Structure 1
């Protein structure tokens, strides 16, 4: 099975505290990594760092509850192509999931005023 786990040094050229999706054997004691890759090629390291930058920014945004932090995170994602796309995506997702986003209460109220 492929699951997200702390890689604990199984991959030699990324920080040990990063989680990675890797093949694992699942059992009573949890997921035991069975990595097929132990070193990322230099050609993919740029993308890996870009995605990790997005993940860190998204985590910070989730804790802050600030729309500007969400927009920063989305603009770091290689899957979001413009500020306009980031704004639309952020607004729609925050409003659709407001009951699970208590840190965004003030942001939700502002968005509701602008999306009437």
Structure 2
């Protein structure tokens, strides 16, 4: 992933006058607010390089915004009303998986939100 981020960094520097398009996140405050151990390094690198936003108005990427839980494109917990549609995820015969209450929504595509297990409580 680091090689891909380096290549993207070169492309972004050509597309943006300032050479940067990413967001600055207070990661310590974000993990504390969401009760996580950490966010994955490749996700932090992606956010630093590209930030929140959309790709082709199709894939929307959210970022943690400590103290602003209702801001647009903000990482948050998977809503409890989504649990019923994820019965297969909860099937214990499929192996160990993070509990749905620990899942974060980090993006969406066409109205469907993507949960991701970003850490443990």
TM-score (norm. length: structure 1): 0.25
If asked which structure has higher relative contact order (CA below 8 Å, sep 6+), I would say 2
Q: Which has the higher helix share?
A: 1
TM-score (norm. length: structure 2): 0.24
